[in-house]
Amino acid sequence: MTETILELKNISYKYPGASDIALDDLSIKISSKEKISILGKNGMGKSTMFLISNGVIRPAKGKVYLNGDEVSDKKADLFNLRKTIGLVFQDPDSQFIAPRVFEEISFGPLNAGKSQAEAKTIVEKIISDLEISDLEEKSLYSLSGGEKKIVSIASVLALEPKIIFFDEPTAGLDNINTARFKRVIDGLYKRDIGLVISTHEVDFAWEWSDRTIIIKDGRVFADGPSDMIMTDKDLMAEAELRRPYLVEFAERVQKNSDEIIYPRSLEDLEKIL
Ligand SMILES: Nc1ncnc2c1ncn2[C@@H]1O[C@H](COP(=O)(O)OP(=O)(O)O)[C@@H](O)[C@H]1O
Ligand SMILES: [Mg+2]
């Protein structure tokens, strides 16, 4: 049994001045070392859920628990939440604090009370793991979109989180940087970091995630194994999502079989055909 690390319980939230509620009695439990995709149309509350998970915004109603303990508004509690639950923003620029790459990645560990030497060791390891030593001395403003994304991941990693939330990480990335992103998350998973990724790319979500959560109108509309959720035609249609191509394809070519085998990757597909 894996234990719940983060629990959102009956969370509701409305942005100041907004007419509609962003989150409406939303509850989710997340354990260590999960691979979760968060699906949902624009405006359904995914980003708000991420901001609450990491303590950037506090819920108006409901509670956040970290390792079973309620997260209060106290500085120490929020600090602990932000350290344990990393958040990679959709727009890296809104995450950056320092002017240069090395300082940006060092900021978290130094702020968490590490010495210069300790911080340097942590940062150098991350820079080497993510293969970004060529960027170390650069100004953040001189980086490309893909480079900014990797640096924003690096600065979250420097806090040594247990779970990292990525808000639409591949939006705006080219093929090379998307492939690089996928290598990076594989590496993180191997280092026992749980991953929660919001995305509009259902084909990626299908191939990658074990669990899928669909957010609709600020609520959890569906939550379960990806191969249950993403194959469910009615459920996906009701959430106004398309099913992965591999799922559609599998059903078409196995129309006459009693039990449909769903390939999770092109390699799986090859074996079936
Ligand atoms: N800063 C904000 N101020 C006011 N309303 C917001 C703000 N951010 C998001 N919203 C609203 O909250 C709802 C949920 O948005 P969001 O969490 O960004 O959804 P998603 O990430 O699924 O697209 C939407 O109705 C959106 O318009
Ligand atoms: Mg969003």
Q: How far is the CA of 10 from the centre of ligand 1 (A)?
A: 18
| Cα–Cα distance for residue pair 13/140, rounded to 1 Å | 33
DSSP state of 247: H
Ligand 1 atom index nearest CA of 48 = 17
Testing ligand 1's pocket by substitution, the residue of 21, 42, 46, 48 carrying the most ligand atoms inside 8 A of its CB is 48
On whether the CB atoms of residues 224 and 212 are closer than 8 A, the answer is yes
Report whether 104 contacts 25 (CB < 8 A).
no
Strands (E) in the chain, as ranges, are 4-13, 23-31, 35-39, 61-66, 69-70, 85-88, 163-167, 194-198, 211-216, 219-225
Q: How far apart are CA 219 and CA 77, in angstroms?
A: 25
**Cβ(18) – ligand 1 distance below 6 Å:** yes
pLDDT, average across residues 207-221:
98
- Please tell me the number of Cα atoms within 13 Å of 188 on its side-chain side: 31
Nearest CA to ligand 1 atom 1: 15
pLDDT of 246 higher than 80: yes
CA distance 66 to 196: 16
At residue 1, does pLDDT exceed 60? no
Would you say residue 133 has pLDDT above 90? Answer: yes
Q: What is the mean pLDDT of residues 167-178?
A: 90
| Distance in angstroms (rounded) separating the CA atoms of residues 71 and 201 | 32
**By alpha-carbon position, which residue is closest to atom 13 of ligand 1?**
22
The closest-lying atom of ligand 1 relative to the alpha carbon of residue 50 is: 17
Nearest CA, atom 16, ligand 1: 45
Spacing, Cα 159 to ligand 2 middle (Å):
23
Q: What is the pLDDT of residues 248-262, one digit of tens each?
A: 999 998 888 889 999
Which atom of ligand 1 is nearest to 167's Cα? 21
pLDDT at position 51 is 97
Which pLDDT score is estimated for 177?
A: 87
Task: Check if the beta carbon of residue 62 is closer than 8 Å to that of residue 44.
Answer: no
pLDDT in tens, 17-42: 999 999 999 999 999 999 999 999 99
Distance, in Å, from the CA atom of 177 to the CA atom of 192, rounded to the nearest integer, reads: 23
Average pLDDT for residues 142-161, to the nearest whole number?
A: 93
pLDDT number for residue 202: 97
